Amino acid sequence: MVLPFLAAGVGVAATAALSYASVRVEALTPPAGGVAFAFGAVIVILGGFPFLALLVLFVAASVVATRYRIQEKEQRHVQEGRKGERGVSNVVAHILVPTALVLTAWVSPSVLSSANLSILYSSALAFGAADTFASEFGVLAGGARSILTGRRVDAGTNGGVSALGEAWALVGAITTALFAVSFLVAFGMLSAPADRLIAVATASGFLACQVDSVLGEALENRGYLTKGGTNLLSMVSSVWIAGGLLFAFGVA
């Protein structure tokens, strides 16, 4: 779908205001705010307000998680950026896939239906929330184990997982899925069965978070991937997992 001219103007204005606010509260660097606005405008114009609302929720939740006990994170040198702000690479890693999905559905609805778009889009952001929650809350666990070898590592180490982090990853994934359904219902755009969207987005978001840990230990720690690259590939894996689940149940 494409929003009518007036609604599109409202959506773009809202995206600009939200991006500006994110920069003002130092959640995003100014360049990252500009990138967020550009991609966010495409999402709201071509996808609609529920897709923008879910993206805004993700950003807001990420800010809260990042700022939680930020002084302690700074003392341990495990904070995001200098004071919790996120830069261009982080924003691109988390917004490129959702934007690509909306563009695909707009260009070729026969390839990506509105129902499957809502599921795959929600799955991508479910990973984003799962990964952010696992990182920002899990780093406070005090210890972790390698996802590949099981050996003890410091919390915050790429590839390190903890019970606390995994629990928060699940919270992030399922919360995103539930809000996705709520936003789509509120705007009269829920075209996929709610239980299917919740189940697929939760599962794919959580599983992709594990992919992120594997890539972090196997490739990022060895310099083959940047953090942004790891996040981007993991979000792609969330979409692929979601698509695989839909195919497996004969609904793709």
Q: What is the pLDDT of residues 33-51, one digit of tens each?
A: 999 999 999 999 999 999 9
Place of tokens 């890693």: 93
The boundaries of the domain holding residue 21 are 5-248
**Predicted model pTM:** 0.94
Could you give phi then psi for residue 70, rounded to 5 degrees? -65, -35
Nearest Cα residue to 121 out of 218, 23, 200, 59: 200
The count of structural domains within the chain is 1
pLDDT in tens, 124-179: 999 999 999 999 998 887 789 999 999 999 878 899 999 999 999 999 999 999 99
Q: Residue 243 CB: number of other CB atoms within 10 A? A: 18
Q: pLDDT tens, 168-221?
A: 999 999 999 999 999 999 999 999 999 999 999 999 999 999 999 999 999 999
- Mean pLDDT taken over the chain: 92
